[in-house]
Amino acid sequence: MPSGEPLSSIGIKVHVRIRPTAKPSPMFHIEDQTNTVLIDLLKQNGGGAPESFVDQIAFSVNSITQSTDQSEVYESCGRALVKDFLEGYNATFIAYGQVGSGKTYTMAGDMKVNAHRGFIARAIHQIFEEKEADPGSGIVLYISYLEIYQEGMYDLLNQRSKDLMIIEESGYVYIRGLAKIPVETEAQALMCFSEGEKQRSYACHQINQVSSRSHTIFTLCMEKRVGRFKTEYDTVVAKLNLVDLAGFERLKKTNTSTGGRMRVEACSINKSLCLLEQALYAIKQGQEYVPFRQSKISIILKEALSGNCRTELILCLWPEEYFLDETIKASRFAQRLKVLRTFSIHNKKIDCCVLNERRHAQEIANLQQELALKDALQGRPGLSFDDLTGEVKGKLRETIQDFLQNDGELERIPIDNQKQVRELFSLFKESQVSLRAKLEKVLSEHGLVEPIEEPQETESGVGELTNQGFHVGIAPPHARPHNPSASKPSPDEIHCSHLMLDYKEADPSNDVWETGSSFRNHKFQEYKHTTVMGKQQDSLIKSKQTELRTTKCHVKDLCEISNNLKQDIHNIKKILKEQHEEEFDSNAISRKADLYSRLKYLKVDFHKNYSQITFFKNVLQKLNQEIFVCKEGFLKSFYSWFETHCNHPNETSEEYLARMGQV
């Protein structure tokens, strides 16, 4: 609901447009100076002699034009109202008159010829002219086009959809379901209008070859921003209704009395206009109940007739002798309307947030005044609520430095207001953070805290974890793990390495035995797979090798984590180094503190991870040794088995058994 100024009532304006005719009635006159339409009435003499003397009725209006120039008529009757709409006032412009008097010509005109364009096209042009002249206003427009045909409502911008309903809420009337088409350019708006026009109901009869058989309401809804600043503005909304009423007609004159569709249409039009007139009458009489709901057009025009709207009517007259009755009837309708008063509100929609902000600002100002008053009453110097200037901040910094470094006096630290106290806290925090950083540096220099090493870029991009030479990932060949036990083999190990048989390949090409290697290998496989001892030893070695592989994978994962942690530590250190020169403010301090705290946790994680790596590295070493010992034992036992069973390659089975018997 828009907020607005106090209500001020305004009258409905009536303009008269006279359709040019070759046979004007001598009974029809206009008085330009007083804007009066005068119609002579023949008064019957009581004695029966006809047309004995003449009476005259006068209708006073706001303006009269006989011009056929559409532009001239728009300038004198329409432009001001559209301007009001653009300023944020609801407006309605109604064309009324008998059939064929020029209502549709005035409102719609002929779109094909520029000079013949009617009010609607000209209003659209004026609106977009204004929009282009003031792009900052952010004018947004929506168009609706409604037709009321035989008391049915049709959406002309939505394929004559009938799914519409009139809703009345808090005194406002709107049509649920009616399309509201947003338009950004004049061309789009004109296109909308032309499309709607194509959907209208027309018929041809004796008086008008292209007679519109319905009431139409072309509505433009506008939203725009007003305000001094782009960030703080109010939204103004307004609605402009351009109404082309169907013309009332005498059935005889339009030759529609014989029946059929046109007769039904004519009756419906006449009835709805009659009901509209009844509503006007009720408003004029000040009746408590106004029968707006009797017809669609009256309820839809409710606001225009008695609500928040600036309303104007163009009364189209066709001053031929033949239509004198209709001219009088139409003029009487206009006269009734002219005495009605509506009210007009500047429809400003204030954004809730802006409203709250303004309210809070006011509340703060009031509270500050109250505090100042209290201080004054207690004889204290007044407080300043302004933000601290750079100069004041600089002085506070000096005071704090003096206090911390030179044993300054506590009393010298000023505590005047909240902003100052906050600033002091951030200065203390800044000092504490920088002290901690210095302390950590000193401790690490003296080896009291394990320093975090910067990651060293290698060819493959994998950093060396420690100087103890454990590498993972895609480390280059020269950076391969360095096994200290392998670097200095013991004499036993040397011996065993000679004896070593690969469990899978069993290819001891370097062995010292003199027997043929294929025979020995064959026997080794036999020992491994058939003897109880060989099977046991082989399975033990395999299980230890599996454990070794799993542990290696685990260590690899740990090293990857370690490298990531190291990278994170390196990044944070880099940021902290860059921020060193940054100008001090409380935000920067809290950012720095966050970084330091993150750095601390990363270091803890890194050290935990590092301990795990060391532990599992020892496990790996132990496993390697155990496997080595097992293999050694395996080979030794194979050796003795081989000596016993196989080292006589040429002996027969009897010789073997005999030898075994000797053994």
- Taking the complex as a whole, the smallest distance from the CB of residue 70 to ligand ADP amounts, in Å, to 8
Position 488, amino acid? K
For residue 32, give both structure tokens.
């330009």
- Is residue 534 within the footprint of ligand ADP (CB under 6 A)? no
Stretch that binds ligand ADP, among 210-218, 293-301, 571-579, 582-590 (CB under 6 A): 210-218
- Taking the complex as a whole, the smallest distance from the CB of residue 180 to Mg ion amounts, in Å, to 25
- Taking the complex as a whole, the smallest distance from the CB of residue 15 to ligand ADP amounts, in Å, to 12
Closest CA to 90 of 280, 311, 301, 299: 311
Binding partner at 20 among ligand ADP, Mg ion, none, C-beta below 5 to 8 Å by kind: ligand ADP
- Is residue 19 within the footprint of ligand ADP (CB under 6 A)? yes
- Taking the complex as a whole, the smallest distance from the CB of residue 266 to ligand ADP amounts, in Å, to 12
- Is residue 269 within the footprint of ligand ADP (CB under 6 A)? no
Cβ proximity to ligand ADP, 103 vs 566, nearer residue? 103
Cβ proximity to ligand ADP, 131 vs 213, nearer residue? 213
- Buried-exposed string 340-369: b where 16+ CB fall within 10 A, e elsewhere: bebebbbbbeeeeeeeeeeeeeeeeeeeee
Binding partner at 19 among ligand ADP, Mg ion, none, C-beta below 5 to 8 Å by kind: ligand ADP
Cβ proximity to ligand ADP, 254 vs 295, nearer residue? 254
Cβ proximity to Mg ion, 103 vs 310, nearer residue? 103
> Which residues in 293-332 contact ligand ADP (CB under 6 A)?
316
Of all residues in the shown chain, the one whose CB is closest to ligand ADP is 102
Coil/strand/helix, residue 556:
helix
Total Cβ atoms within 10 A of residue 160: 16
Closest CA to 433 of 576, 301, 331: 576
Closest CA to 527 of 539, 515, 519, 535: 535
- Is residue 254 within the footprint of ligand ADP (CB under 6 A)? no
- Is residue 74 within the footprint of ligand ADP (CB under 6 A)? no
- Is residue 214 within the footprint of ligand ADP (CB under 6 A)? no
Task: Out of 144, 208, 254, 256, point to the residue binding ligand ADP (CB under 6 A).
Answer: 208
Number of residues that bind ligand ADP (CB under 6 A): 17
d(CA 358, CA 366): 12
Closest CA to 21 of 66, 56, 64: 66
Cβ proximity to ligand ADP, 156 vs 613, nearer residue? 156
- Taking the complex as a whole, the smallest distance from the CB of residue 19 to ligand ADP amounts, in Å, to 4
Binding partner at 120 among Mg ion, ligand ADP, none, C-beta below 5 to 8 Å by kind: none
Could you give the angle at the alpha carbon of 627 between the alpha carbons of 622 and 631, nearest 5°? Answer: 150
Cβ proximity to Mg ion, 212 vs 335, nearer residue? 212
Task: Out of 137, 212, 268, 295, point to the residue binding ligand ADP (CB under 6 A).
Answer: 212
Cβ proximity to Mg ion, 103 vs 224, nearer residue? 103
Residues paired with residue 60 on neighbouring β-strands, in sequence order = 36
Binding partner at 272 among ligand ADP, Mg ion, none, C-beta below 5 to 8 Å by kind: none
Stretch that binds ligand ADP, among 80-88, 94-102, 139-147, 435-443 (CB under 6 A): 94-102
Closest CA to 81 of 62, 105, 99: 62
Position 188, amino acid? Q
- Taking the complex as a whole, the smallest distance from the CB of residue 264 to ligand ADP amounts, in Å, to 18
Stretch that binds ligand ADP, among 21-29, 207-215, 474-482, 628-636 (CB under 6 A): 207-215
Contact 122, 73 (CB under 8 A): no
- Is residue 20 within the footprint of ligand ADP (CB under 6 A)? yes
Residue partners of 66: CB distance under 8 A and separation at least 6: 17, 18, 20, 30
Cβ proximity to ligand ADP, 211 vs 235, nearer residue? 211
Coil/strand/helix, residue 270:
helix
Q: Report the DSSP pairing between strands 215-226 and 234-244.
A: antiparallel
Cβ proximity to ligand ADP, 65 vs 431, nearer residue? 65
Cβ proximity to ligand ADP, 97 vs 307, nearer residue? 97
Q: Which residue, chain included where needed, has tokens 């001053």?
A: 319
- Is residue 105 within the footprint of ligand ADP (CB under 6 A)? yes
Binding partner at 97 among Mg ion, ligand ADP, none, C-beta below 5 to 8 Å by kind: ligand ADP
Q: With DSSP H G I counted as helix, E B as strand and the rest as coil, what are the percentages for the chain, rounded to 5?
A: 50, 15, 30
- Is residue 76 within the footprint of ligand ADP (CB under 6 A)? no
- Taking the complex as a whole, the smallest distance from the CB of residue 30 to ligand ADP amounts, in Å, to 14
- Buried-exposed string 102-127: b where 16+ CB fall within 10 A, e elsewhere: bbbbbbbbeeeeeebbbbbbbbbbbb
Binding partner at 102 among Mg ion, ligand ADP, none, C-beta below 5 to 8 Å by kind: ligand ADP
Question: Rounded to 5 degrees, what are φ and ψ at 203?
Answer: -150, 160
> In this structure, is the dihedral angle defined by the CA atoms of residues 352, 353, 358 and 364, taken in order, positive or negative?
positive
Question: Rounded to 5 degrees, what are φ and ψ at 215?
Answer: -90, 140
Q: Report the DSSP pairing between strands 211-212 and 36-43.
A: unpaired
- Taking the complex as a whole, the smallest distance from the CB of residue 18 to Mg ion amounts, in Å, to 16
Question: Rounded to 5 degrees, what are φ and ψ at 181?
Answer: -90, 120
- Taking the complex as a whole, the smallest distance from the CB of residue 135 to ligand ADP amounts, in Å, to 36
Binding partner at 92 among ligand ADP, Mg ion, none, C-beta below 5 to 8 Å by kind: none
- Is residue 102 within the footprint of ligand ADP (CB under 6 A)? yes
Q: Which positions lie near Mg ion, rule CB under 5 A? A: 103-104, 212
Task: Out of 92, 101, 137, 272, point to the residue binding ligand ADP (CB under 6 A).
Answer: 101
Position 609, amino acid? N
Residues paired with residue 474 on neighbouring β-strands, in sequence order = none
- Taking the complex as a whole, the smallest distance from the CB of residue 308 to Mg ion amounts, in Å, to 28
- Taking the complex as a whole, the smallest distance from the CB of residue 294 to ligand ADP amounts, in Å, to 23
Closest CA to 419 of 389, 463, 445, 391: 389
> Which residues in 453-512 contact ligand ADP (CB under 6 A)?
none
d(CA 78, CA 130): 15
- Taking the complex as a whole, the smallest distance from the CB of residue 213 to ligand ADP amounts, in Å, to 9
Position 542, amino acid? K
Coil/strand/helix, residue 9:
strand
Stretch that binds ligand ADP, among 6-14, 203-211, 216-224, 629-637 (CB under 6 A): 203-211
> Which residues in 49-68 contact ligand ADP (CB under 6 A)?
68
d(CA 219, CA 240): 6
Residue partners of 277: CB distance under 8 A and separation at least 6: 333, 336
d(CA 211, CA 374): 78
- Taking the complex as a whole, the smallest distance from the CB of residue 68 to ligand ADP amounts, in Å, to 4
d(CA 146, CA 402): 79
Of all residues in the shown chain, the one whose CB is closest to Mg ion is 104
The contact set with ligand ADP (CB under 6 A) reads 19-20, 68, 97, 99-105, 208, 210-212, 247, 316
